[in-house]
Amino acid sequence: RVSRSFAGVIRQLPKGLCLDVLIFYLVLRALDTVEDDMEAFRGGREEEKLDLLRRFHVVALGDDSWSMEGVGRGDEAELLRRFGSVARVFAGLPEASREVIADVTRRMGEGMAEFVGKDLGQGTTTVAEYNRYCHFVAGLVGEGLSRLFSATGCEDPSVGEARELSNSMGLFLQKTNIIRDYLEDLVDGRAFWPQEVWKGYAPSGHLYELSEEAARGRAVQCLNHLVTDAFELIPDCLEYMAQLHQPEVFRFCAIPQVMAIATLSELYANPRVFTGVVKIRKGMAAAIVLQSNNLTEVQAWFHRFARDVARRVPAGDPSAERTRAACRRAVELTASGARTAAATLGAGDFVAAVALAAAAHVLAHGGDGLPTVAVAGLSSVVVVCLAALMARFKAVVSAPGASSK
């Protein structure tokens, strides 16, 4: 209930790993709820919040009777009220998994406490601080997951030891979210774009200047600067995914990464970031889910989006050379996989196309006696599947070495 999409992904993990990752997620979601609540700890309770963040791994995770009222909203508040149930299941996990979850919870809580007292109305201060924040809230998640993969025997020990690569996986996702959420975070009064970057594009010294129409050109240049910074993490992400051998674990890690680079491609040079919410289309998301099953497919996606950004680099953009270099590196690393993917659409695409044709045939004949609601649902499926297949086809034909026929 605190994350329907993530719950579905977790259920696909191997039996010996699924519960461990589920508890890991719920523990960190509870911790994040405490950190996010800017109202419950007002009026002299600030130190109580800091203490709870620093000791959550002991006072909450180590006590199956622990409960908290009045913090968070909706399902997140319910999670804290019933956290004792999470602690009880945690206590029954293998010792190696408990050690990983407790350690990451402790370090994340300490990191959150470090940033709670900071004034983030104008974003983080330096790029180093920006990276540090992303490490605490996302890089540690990547590290914890990697260690759980290894601790449960689902992946080689080397995966759990790849701390820097795991951190980059988390930073790639978190930076994508931060870049996308510029306007939402600005309105909330808690932003994360680093001043060291954006003040170079906003002479007034105020982050909100980038949302003004008069500053749109400079705002887009600032946006491109930050997207490029995220793109420079791509080599680490690809190296990390190349180490994974368990298919379910690979998909669990790969799909969010491909979604992230697709989002970054959509964000690049896009002025709508400063006026609303930018998202990838549902058909594209569906195609990514269907075609991120192995390293070859993932490389094909990364290759496509890196080339897409490279083609759109404005000549006068201050970050142009750096952007081209990051794209060029990504294209080089993924060229082999892109060529392999271009050789065939694959059996999965063929089956999807046949199913799509059958559904379209039924609709063309008035639903063949199906109830109205079923016809409407089938129509939606056809639209989404068609968009997914078109996105997949576009990815294949844009790869190097693809036939022009």
Catalytic residues, which ones? 133, 180, 190, 252
Residue 293's pLDDT is what? 95
Residue 343's pLDDT is what? 77
Residue 364's pLDDT is what? 57
Nearest CA-CA partner of 352 in 381, 374, 314, 373: 381
Other Cβ atoms less than 10 A from the Cβ of 216: the count is 14
Residue 28's pLDDT is what? 96
Long-range contacts of 73-79 (CB under 8 A, 24+ apart): 75/1, 75/2, 76/2, 76/29, 76/30, 76/33, 77/33, 78/1, 79/2, 79/26, 79/29, 79/30, 79/33
pLDDT tens profile 32-52: 999 988 888 888 788 999 999
Q: Compute CA distances 299 → 89, 229, 238, 330, 357, whole Å.
A: 38, 20, 8, 9, 29
Nearest CA-CA partner of 145 in 22, 294, 289: 22
Residue 39's pLDDT is what? 84
Spans in the chain with pLDDT lower than 50 = 347, 375, 378, 396-397, 402-405
Q: Which residues contact 217 (CB under 8 A, 6 or more apart)?
A: none
Single pTM value for the model: 0.85
Taking each helix axis from N to C end, the angle separating 234-242 and 247-267, rounded to the nearest 10 degrees, works out to 160
Can you give the C-alpha Rg of the chain in angstroms?
Answer: 23
Residue 184's pLDDT is what? 95
Residue 41's pLDDT is what? 86
Residue 269's pLDDT is what? 98
Structure-block tokens of residue 337: 């996989």
Residue 387's pLDDT is what? 56
Q: Which residues contact 91 (CB under 8 A, 6 or more apart)?
A: 64, 98
pLDDT tens profile 275-301: 999 999 999 999 999 999 999 999 999
- Opening angle at CA 109, ends 206 and 75, nearest 5: 85
